[in-house]
Each structure stands twice: as C-alpha cells, then as structure tokens.
A and B are shown apart, each in its own frame.
Chain A
C-alpha cells in the first residue's frame, strides 16, 4: 500500500487545516454555488458536499497552498457531476451558438462600443446580477472566478481544467456577452446611442 508512505495529517492537524484554511472561504463558496444553481437548497447541498469531500481528501491538500482554489475546484467538479443535470434553471443560451457568433472580434466591438462606463455605474438595481445570471454556465463561471473572486488566469486554469489560453478567450467572450446584455438595459434606461428629446 503506497498510501501508507505518504505523510498524513494527524487528527489535530486536520482540524487546524479544516477550520483555519477551509472554513474561512464558506461565504465565497456559497456565493459561487448559488450563482451556479440559482437555488438556495441546491447551493447549500453543494457547499456541504464540497466540504465533506474536502475533509475526506484532506491528505491530498498541501498545507500552505491555495486552499480557496482547491475548494473551488472540488465545488465546480461536484456541480458538473451531481447537480448540473438536475439544475432547476437550464442554461438559456446554447454554448455552441454563442461561440460561433462571437468568433469574430469585430462583431464584439461594434455591438458594445456604445455602452458607456457612466451608464454601468448608474445601474443601481439587479441589472448586473441578472445579466450575469443570464450567461451560459461556462461563461458565468469565468466571470465569477475572475471578477467576483479575483482568481488569476493560472488559478482559473487549474480550477476549470482548461489551458490558460482558453481561460483568456472564454473570459473575453463572457465579458462581451455581459456587455451586450448591459447595453440592452442601458438603452431601456434611456442611454440610447442617439440622444432623443421628448
């Protein structure tokens, strides 16, 4: 049994790692889980499952390394394996369709160039949250990891098991889609391209 050769945490060390390195991330974990599932109970279950797995596999976590990224990776894998199928709100946009449409950068910039920083700053309600929730799950995930949680591209690549180049392009596309939705909101708030007097 090669497992025996590996240094394992003692009971006490386990508690120290679990309480000191894992539990402090529970707010971020729940926020991530909720934005993936859109359901409080599912999010709760997902976070609980993640922490149970983290405890069970605690010996594969090296103390002092990035616990938050390690936990997010477990949560994301649990979501894909156990929850995605039964998710109450299926993705509203077909990934393939989106990828094809957004293959051209020119399309991106023409369509979002009239969205201004000021109109985004004036969005005081749930516009941004709704826009984020409306993205297909793969796009939503990269925005959450990068902009809400501040992970680096390298950390995101590890969490998502994809190359850094894919992280970069997916994030870029996700942001363009988000801007596209925000532009629609901005227009309905009266920030249209042409200023009209009534």
Chain B
C-alpha cells in the first residue's frame, strides 16, 4: 500500500536546483510543457523527494481550487435580464 506522499529510499532528499525544478513541475502541471515533459516528470518523481512532494502539493491545491472555488451560484434572473437588455438594444 503506497502512500502518495511516502518517502522512498531511492529518492534523494535534497534537490540541487529547487527553484528551477519546481517551476518546471508547475509548468508541466499547467499543461505547458509537452515535449519530453512526461519523461522528465517521471524522472523527478522517481528520484527526488522534494520534487515528489511539491508536485503532489501543487496537484492537491489545483484540485481543491477547482472543486471549492468555481461554484458561485448565478443570480436567478441574470441570464434573462441580459437577454432582455440585448433585445431592447436592437
């Protein structure tokens, strides 16, 4: 039973270039880095504990943002009143 945040003996505990690596991981998560992105990601996740933790943290934040912050209920008559305004403007 593997915990996604479990440390693995194969992973190094220090990342030598944390600034660059983390920004790279974030771009991959944003879908902005396509070429060679998957291989690079796999390599980081397999071999570097700080990258592994950061990737899962960023992923969790994106998921929570999406589920918690996108459901502002639309005022009941807004769409209707916009259609009416357009009608009147014609």
Contacts and interface: CB of A to CB of B under 8 A. Distances in A.
Interface of A: 11, 18, 23, 26-28, 30-31, 34-35, 40, 43-44, 47-48, 51-52, 55-56, 105-106, 108-109, 113, 115-118, 120-121, 123, 126, 128-129, 132, 143-144, 146-148, 152-153, 168, 171-172, 175, 178-179, 182
A30 B32 CA distance: 27
A123 B31 contact: no
Contacts of A18: 86
Question: Which residue, B4, B27, B62, B64, has most C-beta atoms of chain A within 10 A?
Answer: B64
Contacts of A43: 72
- Please tell me the size bucket of the interface on B: 35 or more
A103 to B, nearest CB: 12
Given A48-B85, A129-B68, A175-B26, A23 B60 contact: no
B interface: dominant SS = helix
Given A11-B90, A128-B68, A147-B66, A175 B74 contact: no
A106 B17 CA distance: 10
Contact of B60 (A28, A51, A52, A120): A120
Given A27-B74, A152-B31, A117 B26 contact: no
A128 B64 contact: yes
A117 B53 contact: yes
A127 B71 CA distance: 15
Given A18-B86, A109-B18, A40 B65 contact: no
A47 B68 contact: no
A52 B86 CA distance: 7
A142 to B, nearest CB: 11
Given A30-B72, A123-B64, A51 B4 contact: no
A116 B75 contact: no
Interface of B: 4-5, 18-19, 22-23, 26-27, 30-32, 50, 53, 56-66, 68-72, 74-75, 78-79, 81-83, 85-86, 89-90
A44 B78 contact: yes
Majority secondary structure of chain A interface residues (helix, strand, loop or mixed)? helix
B32 A118 contact: no
